Chain A
């Protein structure tokens, strides 16, 4: 059969399996139907729930404004799929094109999309992690349980790790007027994602809202009472606090174990794929029928030196799912690269934090508008003399402009005056990212390696 004929038949009556029935999985399913795929579609998800949205879990849900089970994602359209919910995929047979399931079943595919995302990294000491009152926050069920505990009014909550999730949890606790201690190994909250200069502002915000923020310390142990309830936490500086609830927010682990022997290039750092979302096998050769999207994927981005980016961002999951879906049902010449501009938001302590680009790549930062002290500002990040990222605190309307600057590889530091440039915006300073050789939990973007192959993408900014 000709290639065209194969594609036509596949689009009409082929079978596609999507493993991971969450944001990326659902949006891919919808996009497949939008693209005109009329074959069989199977959605495999280990959670018993239909796809739901996670960002509200650390915000509206913990504040008690929205019940955890009111977070189901709206459908953009009907997807007409076989749903295998509450069933984990346990293995992949690449040659036989088959996914095996925890219930003993197997499903065959012509093309497969892997969107298994990440899970919360648990507290490393198992016995301590099992204490009553110790939580992580990744799923709807986690959020329901944690909210239930917070509602009971614990006398103190400890949040371990001040990345985005940890900071949002601390913010929700303060808004509920609960005493909260935050322990962060780094020098400031958000330091892995946004660097030390902005991290300092995040620290000020936390303290201004009454958080007992302890940076540069590690939690060395959690202690329980005779009933197995957590009651005290010990820190590396020798101090201890009495706590009733502990939330472990130490970043995430990629859900790739089920692929261990599959021959796919899947490991603790995710599944590497090309810019067209096709997975690499262990030999570093790109596969034809296996695609990846969302938090579990690592893909090269031409704008950022072809580095493989893993982006645990909502917007990335949506955009990559759409590209993957398109490419799954398109001829190779019609395929599109995933060139999404990394972006995320976080709401904490009443402030809207947004970012574009890849801040952790930066060596310098410059406050181009507003002022750090007022907690309302726009800052540009520079890397080797060009703008590589930007962040806003309550100034989201300006972000579009900086996105264009990144796309155009505009020079850094920006020389031009702006409507609100202050004296502090005159000189760039070191962005203050922790030394990457030191261990650091959960930076939102991890950078590693270079793509050996895919240089065909025409989108490559150059500078004179």
Chain B
């Protein structure tokens, strides 16, 4: 098999349930140029070194013009890029500003103190499954959970949460481009609509919170004055939208992949049931073994970079295949085994370096709580089909549905 065809195969929907053998193939050449242009990096140490390399940019404006064409699907053309798509110093300034109301050093307890609220949301979602013997874990649980959490975090009033669920749906669907041109066009149209509505809604809410602040992130972003000054209204909107997009689909997939992996490993499921503390390393292992973000396709180079015997030319698109890196046998022993209490586990599931996941502590708590509660309360859960139907998206990879049967819901 030529490595040139590998990216096509990885993105080929038929391989969605199990891309890992393709990654193994890819790792035979740590850095390879795909026929469509991007350079694919698939081995752990090379990926890690590029994530810490100051010659690597996340800003699409640094791509060569040919390479830039058609990359910016997720980016709203009417808004400036959010910090995930910016380089320092802008990235650092905006990330610090966004961190102020979210975490240390300024607000060290916000996420920690959400423990109770997260537990309540999880319990509520599971309670609603009583009297059911068939559930779809995605639609019934994994999907609504993170959107609710982000709404609470930002301070979206409960009665408006339903709009967020709709916008999140539409945006998530656009990450899964359908086959025909007409469908694609229709989807682009609804995406534009959803983005516009989301931005308009946020603008209104920010204004409201500026006038009457509460204890939530939007209020803090709207009123806070720190060493970096204040976020502009547009910056608040792009940042809030980023939190919604970056924190949604990813968390859905982590929880769903988690349940799927547990059902495939009943002994581990049993262990988690009797020892909830296992959730902590288990979630780390999931982030290594079935990571929600399979690759980082948004990087480019500011200079020619000589790595693993290949020169990646300046301005070339760079795909960092993090899911492959996290299964690199040069780094992890038994990489293809799911070992829930693995100790040497510096996976790449949340990225690394300056763009490392902003919401990681929250995502960890969400997944730890969700999986512990699901295994505790679902009585005799069984997979209805294996593999389940996957989303089309090869970057944010995860099941579209996870149909389960259960004998009941425990208290």
Q: Is there an interface contact between A420 and B87, defined as CB atoms closer than 8 Å?
A: yes
Q: Is there an interface contact between A419 and B49, defined as CB atoms closer than 8 Å?
A: no
Instruction: Check: A370 CB closer than 8 A to any chain B CB.
Output: yes
Q: Which of B342-360 contact A (CB under 8 A)?
A: 353-354
Instruction: Check: A404 CB closer than 8 A to any chain B CB.
Output: yes
Q: Is there an interface contact between B88 and A419, defined as CB atoms closer than 8 Å?
A: yes
A404 proximity list for chain B (CB < 8 A) = 49
Instruction: Check: A6 CB closer than 8 A to any chain B CB.
Output: no
Q: How far is the CB of B315 from chain A (nearest CB, A)?
A: 11
Interface string of A383-426 (1 = CB under 8 A from B): 00000000000000110110010000000000011111000000
Q: How far is the CB of A208 from chain B (nearest CB, A)?
A: 12
A417 proximity list for chain B (CB < 8 A) = 55, 302-303
Instruction: Check: A368 CB closer than 8 A to any chain B CB.
Output: yes
Q: Is there an interface contact between A420 and B49, defined as CB atoms closer than 8 Å?
A: no
A374 proximity list for chain B (CB < 8 A) = 89
B52 proximity list for chain A (CB < 8 A) = 397-398, 400-401
Count of A-B contacts with CB under 8 A?
41
Q: Please classify how large the interface on chain A is, using the bins under 10, 10 to 19, 20 to 34, 35 or more.
A: 10 to 19
A397 proximity list for chain B (CB < 8 A) = 52, 353-354
B303 proximity list for chain A (CB < 8 A) = 416-417
B56 proximity list for chain A (CB < 8 A) = 419
Instruction: Check: A299 CB closer than 8 A to any chain B CB.
Output: no
Assuming the contacts A369-B54, A418-B302, asked whether A400 and B354 have C-beta atoms less than 8 A apart, the reply is: no
Q: Which one of A370, A378, A401, A416 lies within 8 Å of B89 (CB-CB)?
A: A370
A368 proximity list for chain B (CB < 8 A) = 54
User: CA separation between A453 and B53, bound complex, in Å?
Assistant: 37
Question: How many of chain B's residues have a CB under 8 angstroms from any CB in A?
Answer: 15
Q: Which of B48-65 contact A (CB under 8 A)?
A: 49, 52-57
Chain B interface, DSSP helix/strand/loop, else mixed: loop
Interface string of B291-308 (1 = CB under 8 A from A): 000000000001100000
User: CA separation between A348 and B281, bound complex, in Å?
Assistant: 34
A378 proximity list for chain B (CB < 8 A) = 54
Please, which residue of chain A has its CB at the minimum distance from the CB of B62? A419
Q: How far is the CB of B392 from chain A (nearest CB, A)?
A: 32
B302 proximity list for chain A (CB < 8 A) = 416-419
A400 proximity list for chain B (CB < 8 A) = 49, 52
Q: Which of B82-133 contact A (CB under 8 A)?
A: 87-89, 92
B353 proximity list for chain A (CB < 8 A) = 397
Please, which residue of chain A has its CB at the minimum distance from the CB of B303? A416
User: CA separation between A401 and B50, bound complex, in Å?
Assistant: 9
User: CA separation between A417 and B304, bound complex, in Å?
Assistant: 10
Please, which residue of chain B has its CB at the minimum distance from the CB of A421? B54
Please, which residue of chain A has its CB at the minimum distance from the CB of B86? A419
Please, which residue of chain A has its CB at the minimum distance from the CB of B302? A417
Q: Which of A165-224 contact B (CB under 8 A)?
A: none
A401 proximity list for chain B (CB < 8 A) = 49, 52-54
Please, which residue of chain B has its CB at the minimum distance from the CB of A374? B89
Q: Which of A324-346 contact B (CB under 8 A)?
A: none
Please, which residue of chain B has its CB at the minimum distance from the CB of A422? B89
User: CA separation between A289 and B354, bound complex, in Å?
Assistant: 46
User: CA separation between A418 and B89, bound complex, in Å?
Assistant: 11
Q: Is there an interface contact between A418 and B49, defined as CB atoms closer than 8 Å?
A: no
User: CA separation between A292 and B302, bound complex, in Å?
Assistant: 45
User: CA separation between A376 and B96, bound complex, in Å?
Assistant: 13
User: CA separation between A369 and B354, bound complex, in Å?
Assistant: 13
A398 proximity list for chain B (CB < 8 A) = 52, 54, 354
Q: How far is the CB of B49 from chain A (nearest CB, A)?
A: 7
Please, which residue of chain A has its CB at the minimum distance from the CB of B305? A416
User: CA separation between A378 and B53, bound complex, in Å?
Assistant: 13
Q: How far is the CB of A193 from chain B (nearest CB, A)?
A: 24
User: CA separation between A397 and B87, bound complex, in Å?
Assistant: 14
Please, which residue of chain A has its CB at the minimum distance from the CB of B105? A350
Please, which residue of chain A has its CB at the minimum distance from the CB of B50? A401
Q: How far is the CB of A349 from chain B (nearest CB, A)?
A: 13
Q: Is there an interface contact between A370 and B88, defined as CB atoms closer than 8 Å?
A: yes
Q: Is there an interface contact between B88 and A369, defined as CB atoms closer than 8 Å?
A: yes
Q: How far is the CB of B321 from chain A (nearest CB, A)?
A: 20
The 5 closest A-B pairs by CB, nearest first: A418-B54, A420-B88, A416-B303, A419-B87, A400-B52
Q: Could you list 14 A-B pairs, sorted by A, with CB under 8 Å?
A: A370-B88, A378-B54, A397-B353, A398-B54, A400-B52, A401-B53, A401-B54, A416-B55, A416-B303, A417-B302, A417-B303, A418-B54, A418-B302, A419-B87
Give the interface of B toward A (CB within 8 A). 49, 52-57, 87-89, 92, 302-303, 353-354
Give the interface of A toward B (CB within 8 A). 368-370, 374, 376, 378, 397-398, 400-401, 404, 416-420
14 further A-B pairs in the complex, CB-CB below 8 A; given A397-B353, A398-B54, A416-B302: A369-B54, A370-B88, A374-B89, A378-B54, A397-B354, A398-B52, A401-B49, A401-B53, A416-B303, A417-B55, A417-B302, A418-B302, A419-B88, A420-B89
